[in-house]
Every structure is written in structure tokens, then in C-alpha cells.
């Protein structure tokens, strides 16, 4: 497996819409595994293909508790086919916006249809953290970041901080506190 480089915002690659996957072949399944390894190493609980510079509709998620066994889900062409009427507010962060967090309101429950790593169509219902993570990652496939769901003032502040870090030549790992 290969650890992939995560793109840090602002970056135009994070704002483009992704193309569907025709089928999950061996190369796509390998990419999903590499994405999962990259996500765990970051560490994170979700990663979308555009975050590693691949403009395909692929996401991986695993919101399992730190001390629990991993429960990864690999999805190609994920599509939300139902949402609950009830919304919830959760704090969100993103591997492409390191150390930045804010509150985002999303549907509490969803049903998602996707192709798994074996090219089999699946459907799952998700609520709570799993629902939030899936919605967050699907947003990436449309070129939407979690900061696009918050006020323009807060979004601008976050993006200016990240731009400053980039200008200083710092990567995510170099700006982490000791």
C-alpha cells in the first residue's frame, strides 16, 4: 500500500466536480485501500479522492471509536437516496483544512447507494457520526468543503490562515503542535 499526499486548501482541485467510476476494477480497489491507509495515517475518519488529487467519485470512511475495531467502508459513486427531515449540528473538521473546525448542520439520517470495493451495489442507512462523515465526503465529490456551509466571514478567516501556512512553506505535519 502507498501513503498518498493530502491536498491542503485553498486549492482549486478541491473545488472541482468528480467523474463517476465506471466499475470498481483492481486499480480502483487498490486506490481505495491506499486512501484508507492514508486516512488512518493522517489520522482521519474520512477521505475523498479529490483530496489526493484524483477527480473520481470515491470515498472511504471509518468513524469507529479509537479503541474499537476498524469498520472501514469503501464507496464508489456514493449517492444519497434519502435523508431524514430532522437535522443535527455537529462539529466538523477536514484533513484538507488541518486543525480547522466549525459547526455544520446536516440531515441526521441518510440512506446511501454505492459500489463497494468488489464492484457490488450496496445500500446502507447511517445516522450520527457515520451520517455526518459520509455527507462530508460526498460534498468533496461536488467540490464543496465543510467551510462552504458556514458564514463567509468564518470561511474567509480559515482560508486566510491556511494560505498563510502555505506561503510559509509549511505542510500539515510541519504545523502540528509538538
Angstrom distance (rounded) from CA 1 to CA 33: 7
Question: Could you tell me if residue 174 is inside a domain?
Answer: no
Please, which residues have CB within 8 angstroms of residue 54's CB and are 6 or more apart in sequence? Answer: 31
Question: Could you tell me if residue 5 is inside a domain?
Answer: no
Asked if the model's pLDDT at residue 177 lies above 60, the reply is no
Question: Could you tell me if residue 153 is inside a domain?
Answer: yes
Average pLDDT over residues 35-39: 97
Length of the chain: 178
Percent of the chain with pLDDT over 90: 88
- List C-alpha distances in Å: 96 to 36, 41, 126: 15, 14, 24
What's the structural domain count of the chain? 1
Grid coordinates belonging to 135: 455527507
Question: Could you tell me if residue 115 is inside a domain?
Answer: yes
Question: Could you tell me if residue 175 is inside a domain?
Answer: no
Q: Residue 172, preceding bond cis, omega within 30 degrees?
A: no
Q: Which residues are catalytic?
A: 137
Question: Could you tell me if residue 33 is inside a domain?
Answer: yes
pLDDT value of position 65: 78
Which CATH number does the domain housing residue 46 bear? 3.90.45.10
Note the pTM of the prediction, 2 decimals.
0.93
Q: Which of 47-51, 64-68, 168-172 has the lowest mean pLDDT?
A: 168-172
CA 55, 170, 10: angle at the middle one, nearest 5? 35
Question: Could you tell me if residue 81 is inside a domain?
Answer: yes
User: pLDDT tens digit string along 121-131?
Assistant: 999 999 999 99
Domain residue limits at 143? 12-167
Question: Could you tell me if residue 163 is inside a domain?
Answer: yes
Average pLDDT over residues 145-158: 97
Amino acid at each position: 500500500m502507498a501513503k498518498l499526499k493530502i491536498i491542503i486548501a485553498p486549492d482549486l482541485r478541491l473545488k472541482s466536480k468528480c467523474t463517476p467510476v465506471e466499475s470498481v476494477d483492481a486499480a480502483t480497489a487498490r486506490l481505495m485501500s491506499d486512501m484508507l491507509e492514508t486516512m488512518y495515517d493522517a489520522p482521519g475518519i474520512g477521505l475523498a479522492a479529490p483530496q489526493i488529487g484524483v477527480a473520481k467519485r470515491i470515498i472511504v470512511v471509518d468513524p469507529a471509536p479509537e479503541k474499537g475495531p476498524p469498520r472501514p467502508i469503501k464507496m464508489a459513486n456514493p449517492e444519497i437516496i434519502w435523508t431524514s427531515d430532522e437535522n443535527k449540528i455537529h462539529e466538523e473538521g477536514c484533513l484538507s483544512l488541518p486543525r480547522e473546525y466549525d459547526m455544520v448542520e446536516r440531515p441526521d439520517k441518510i440512506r446511501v447507494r454505492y459500489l463497494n470495493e468488489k464492484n457490488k451495489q450496496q445500500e446502507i442507512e447511517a445516522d450520527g457520526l457515520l451520517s455526518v462523515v459520509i455527507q462530508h465526503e460526498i460534498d468533496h465529490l461536488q467540490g464543496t468543503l465543510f467551510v462552504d456551509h458556514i458564514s463567509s466571514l468564518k470561511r474567509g478567516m480559515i482560508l486566510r490562515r491556511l494560505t498563510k501556512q502555505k506561503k510559509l512553506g509549511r505542510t500539515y505535519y510541519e504545523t502540528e503542535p509538538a
